[in-house]
């Protein structure tokens, strides 16, 4: 078995959709980025890549490539899973945190888990997502950004 760790942070901005775990969440601000800026999926991608020492998301899906402009990050997650399988590994489980002061995410967590499980061919109980506020501190707590952490355990097929 091997383990991978991922982290990401994006700014919240006007005139952007808020997409987390492939779920569009109604809110006055959205995450800024070249892709759909799905900060949760990005940290899971980095955790998967990290588990088999395959560099990082920017190496495989560069943010100056027009191909990835506004792309659905679930597509990138699917590609990342292929890279993992090519290395001879599969996912045992994923755990993750979303650090977000606003909006309240609990109504959307199960939909996010379903999206991720579907794309990675996992059972729902292999995908965990926890939402936290940042107690109104720092950029996340002030509602200026959303950050995420993820860990992924993999085993040789």
What the block records as the tokens of 157 is 């097929």
Query: CA-to-CA distance for 149 and 37, rounded, in angstroms?
Result: 15
Residues 6 or more apart whose CB falls under 8 angstroms from that of 28 comprise 14
Q: Which of 6, 8, 29, 127 binds Zn ion (CB under 5 A)?
A: 8
Query: CA-to-CA distance for 6 and 149, rounded, in angstroms?
Result: 6
Give least dist CB 19 to Zn ion, A. Answer: 11
**Residue 126 or residue 148: which is nearer to Zn ion going by CB?**
148
In the bound state, the residue with its beta carbon closest to Zn ion is 42
Within 16-75, the residues that bind Zn ion by CB under 5 A are 42
Give least dist CB 94 to Zn ion, A. Answer: 17
Torsion of CA 95, 117, 10, 57, to 10 degrees: 90
Give least dist CB 23 to Zn ion, A. Answer: 16
Chain residues binding Zn ion by CB under 5 A are 8, 42
């Amino acid at each position: 078995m091997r383990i991978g760790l991922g982290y990401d942070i994006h700014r919240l901005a006007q005139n952007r959709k808020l997409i987390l775990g492939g779920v569009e969440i109604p809110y006055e601000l959205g995450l800024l980025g070249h892709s759909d800026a799905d900060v949760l999926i990005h940290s899971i991608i980095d955790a998967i890549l990290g588990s088999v020492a395959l560099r990082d998301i920017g190496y495989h899906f560069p943010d100056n490539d027009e191909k990835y402009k506004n792309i659905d990050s679930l597509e990138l997650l699917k590609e990342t899973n292929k890279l993992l399988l090519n290395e001879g590994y599969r996912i045992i489980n994923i755990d993750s945190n979303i650090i977000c002061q606003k909006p309240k995410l609990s109504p959307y967590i199960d939909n996010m888990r379903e999206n991720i499980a579907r794309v990675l061919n996992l059972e729902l109980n292999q995908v965990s997502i926890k939402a936290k506020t940042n107690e109104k501190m720092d950029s996340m707590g002030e509602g200026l950004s959303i950050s995420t952490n993820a860990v992924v355990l993999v085993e040789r097929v």
